[in-house]
């Protein structure tokens, strides 16, 4: 069946209404179907046969004839639905819950204990300040050796100087940031210290709404978009006293590192992209342009750029952080989390942003019992045997496992389920993403996006409209089975270590909603970073971070600076 690749005069809206009436949709235009629609103006037995072939279905003549009335009736229903404007922030009336039926959320709350660097002295070199972790910067601000205004000015200057080189900044928020920093200094001087994020400058992936500022989603069709509210994460960080200094780049509509203004660069090698989609968040943190940043992950968008840029990232358990005010890509897979220069920095940020807000129906309340000194002997730790045995495993991966063992840990081997069609489950993300940007496709404004390859969003959205609704539901039923199989595989384990590139782990754990912490674990021969990942049980974000922190404290990879920026 021929695919038309260059159609300038297509009535896209009409053709897609026709395709959706078949339960297929699409702007990957099968020429036969388009010609028959043009000729007849309604759905016929012949067009049903051709459409069935696209969906992998085969109906008899009698079955096709019987379908016609319903399909033509559906067409009217679809046209009525498309007359209703549905904004990106409207969630479907169906929700994903990572917890299987009968599983209770943890409820015990214990004191929050983080590392305090009492007696820390301020370094002379401002470049050293720029790369210090939040745990240390917060002590300098608390002890009033460093003002928030001074630190904010330092980061704003670095953002202005290095942002263009990295192509990592969309909006610099200088006036707002300095105003908020001055307020933080007054509060601290008056004894109203809010905690370890008070006065710390940070950057937001530009899919988070900030009232009065553009929220571009990294995409040309939205580069002038202003959303009249603050995202919950932005509001919570402001309540913690953190200072938002910039909105940072993301690959257009949260894919890759190419946005409407260029390609965000890896600070360790400017010839490379920073990976994505939390491209600017990872690059800016690595280059010492912000104290920390917020990223998002649907399928690798925190772990991948953190790996490329040599920083630490937390992908929280699905549902632990409200996505209200954030661009929706996949309602059942999107997660927001911190990108920072240390594991404990991630813990401090996560403590400020987690929990339900009454706006994101998937956001849940569960205690975050962070204790930086909790003994590893309290935790049951495993390693992904098949991942370490895989041909993808490297010497860095094996060294990371040995480092864990050097801490007195005897990790037990575990294996993830291997008999599920994981790649087939990608249709869940594709279908939800196509729905989230349905208006963009129907209007034809998807042509404005910079990337127009077969794997880029414009084409993916069109292809996704041919996913039958039944197959989307079936994929989610298989997903439920996968969740049960993974639960069984992890029985008796709190946290496991895995190579970042191990087979299946990234897609599987994003589908099931498990938390993950990525940490830098070495460097390639060309000087670019590599990473290791720790994955935890659902809701075990604190335990996952604790094991990752113990491992990170035994190494120094996270303390190294990109030579061009440090």
**CATH for 306:** 3.90.1300.10
**Number of domains composing the chain:** 2
| CA dist., res. 20 & res. 28, Å (int) | 12
Considering the domain architecture, whether residues 32 and 142 belong to the same structural domain is answered as no
- The reply to whether 100 falls in a domain is no
Active-site annotation holder among 274, 284, 301, 531: 301
Residues 171 and 258 in one domain: yes
Question: Do the domain assignments include residue 92?
Answer: no
Cα distances (Å, whole numbers) of residue 348 to 192, 305, 317, 462: 19, 21, 16, 41
Q: Say whether both 289 and 220 belong to one domain.
A: yes
Rounded CA gap, 129 and 131, in Å?
5
CA distance readout (Å), 562 to 6, 41, 129, 258, 279: 44, 61, 15, 21, 16
Statement to judge: residues 32 and 139 lie in one domain = no
Catalytic residue among 205, 247, 335, 549: 205
Q: Is 301 a catalytic site residue?
A: yes
For residue 62, give its domain range. Answer: 1-84
Question: Which pLDDT value is given to residue 74?
Answer: 85
The SS3 assignment for 519 reads strand
> Does residue 205 carry a catalytic annotation?
yes
pTM of the model: 0.91
Q: Do residues 321 and 223 share a domain?
A: yes
In sequence order, the β-bridge partners of residue 336 are 296
pLDDT attached to residue 24: 44
**∠ CA 535-536-538, rounded to 5°:** 130
pLDDT in tens, 484-507: 999 999 999 999 999 999 999 999
pLDDT along the chain (566 residues), means of 10: 32 44 41 42 86 89 92 86 92 95 94 95 95 98 98 98 98 98 98 98 98 98 98 98 99 98 98 98 98 98 98 98 98 98 98 98 97 98 98 98 98 97 96 97 96 95 92 96 98 98 97 98 98 98 98 98 95
Q: Is 2 a catalytic residue?
A: no
pLDDT of 41: 59
The two structure tokens encoding residue 102: 């009968």
Which two tokens mark 522?
Answer: 């070495």
Looking at the domain assignment, is residue 432 inside a domain? Answer: no
Q: Do 256 and 130 lie in a common domain?
A: yes
In a domain, 103, yes or no: no
The reply to whether 318 and 214 lie within a common domain is yes
Same-domain pairing of 186 and 295: yes
Whether the Cβ atoms of residue 251 and residue 295 lie closer than 8 Å to each other: no
Q: Write down the pLDDT at residue 82.
A: 87
Q: How many residues does the chain have?
A: 566
Q: Does a structural domain hold residue 564?
A: no
- If asked whether residues 375 and 495 sit together in one domain, one would say yes
Tell me, yes or no, whether 440 lies in a domain.
Answer: no
**Is residue 166 domain-shared with residue 277, that is, in the same domain?**
yes
Retrieve residue 367's tokens: 């205690």
Answer whether residue 163 is part of any domain: yes
Q: Is 420 helix (H, G, I), strand (E, B) or coil?
A: coil
Same domain, 520 and 372: yes
pLDDT digits (tens, 9 = 90+) for 125-141: 999 999 999 999 999 99
Catalytic position from the list 277, 284, 304, 322: 277
Residue 2 confidence (pLDDT): 31
Gap between the Cα atoms of 166 and 274, Å rounded: 9
pLDDT at 409: 97
CB-based contacts of 309, cutoff 8 Å, min separation 6 = 266, 267, 268, 274, 275, 282, 283, 285, 286, 529
Residue that finishes a domain, picked among 84, 117, 152:
84
Residues 20 and 79 in one domain: yes
């Amino acid at each position: 069946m021929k695919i038309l690749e260059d159609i300038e005069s297509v009535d896209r809206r009409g053709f897609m209404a026709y395709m959706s009436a078949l339960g297929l949709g699409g702007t990957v235009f099968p020429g036969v179907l388009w010609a028959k629609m043009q000729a007849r103006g309604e759905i016929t037995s012949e067009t049903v046969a051709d459409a069935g072939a696209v969906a992998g279905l085969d109906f008899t003549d009698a079955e096709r004839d019987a379908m016609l009335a319903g399909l033509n009736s559906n067409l009217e229903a679809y046209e009525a639905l498309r007359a209703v404007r549905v904004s990106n922030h409207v969630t479907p009336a169906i929700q994903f819950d990572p917890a299987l039926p009968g599983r209770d959320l943890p409820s015990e709350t214990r004191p929050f204990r983080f590392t305090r660097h009492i007696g820390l002295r301020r370094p002379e070199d401002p470049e050293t300040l720029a790369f210090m972790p939040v745990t240390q910067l917060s002590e300098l601000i608390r002890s009033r050796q460093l003002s928030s205004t001074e630190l904010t000015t330092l980061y704003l200057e670095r953002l202005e100087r290095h942002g263009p080189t990295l192509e990592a900044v969309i909006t610099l928020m200088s006036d707002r940031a300095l105003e908020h920093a001055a307020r933080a200094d007054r509060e601290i001087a008056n004894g109203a210290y809010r905690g370890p994020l008070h006065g710390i400058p940070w950057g937001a992936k530009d899919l988070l709404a900030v009232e009065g500022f553009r929220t571009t989603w990294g995409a040309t069709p939205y580069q002038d978009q202003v959303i009249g509210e603050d995202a919950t994460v932005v509001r919570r960080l402001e309540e913690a006293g953190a200072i938002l200094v910039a909105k940072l780049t993301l690959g257009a509509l949260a894919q890759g590192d190419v946005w409407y203004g260029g390609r965000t660069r890896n600070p360790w090698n400017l010839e490379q992209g920073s990976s994505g989609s939390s491209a600017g968040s990872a690059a800016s943190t690595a280059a010492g342009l912000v104290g920390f940043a917020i990223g998002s992950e649907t399928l690798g968008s925190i772990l991948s750029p953190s790996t490329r840029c040599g920083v630490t990232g937390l992908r929280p358990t699905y549902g632990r952080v409200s996505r209200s005010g954030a661009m929706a890509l996949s309602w059942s897979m999107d997660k927001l989390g911190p990108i920072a220069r240390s594991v404990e920095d991630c813990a401090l940020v996560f403590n400020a942003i987690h929990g339900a807000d009454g706006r994101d129906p998937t956001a849940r309340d569960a205690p975050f019992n962070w204790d930086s000194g909790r003994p590893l002997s309290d935790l049951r730790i495993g390693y992904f045997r098949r991942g370490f045995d895989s041909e993808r495993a490297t010497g860095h991966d094996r060294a990371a496992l040995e480092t864990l063992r050097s801490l007195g840990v005897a990790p037990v081997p575990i294996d993830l389920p291997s008999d599920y069609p994981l790649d087939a489950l990608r249709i869940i993300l594709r279908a939800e993403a196509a729905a989230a940007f349905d208006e963009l496709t129907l209007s034809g404004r998807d042509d404005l996006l910079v990337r127009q390859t077969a794997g880029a969003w414009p084409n993916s959205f069109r292809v996704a409209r041919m996913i039958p609704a039944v197959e989307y539901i079936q994929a989610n039923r298989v997903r439920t089975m996968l969740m049960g199989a993974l639960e069984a595989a992890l029985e008796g384990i709190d946290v496991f270590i895995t190579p970042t590139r191990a087979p299946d782990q990234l897609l599987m754990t994003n589908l099931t909603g498990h938390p993950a912490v990525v940490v830098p674990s070495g460097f390639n021969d060309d000087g670019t970073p590599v990473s290791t990942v720790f994955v935890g049980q659902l809701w075990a974000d604190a335990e996952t971070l604790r094991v990752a922190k113990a491992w990170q404290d035994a190494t120094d990879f996270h303390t190294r600076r990109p030579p061009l920026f440090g």
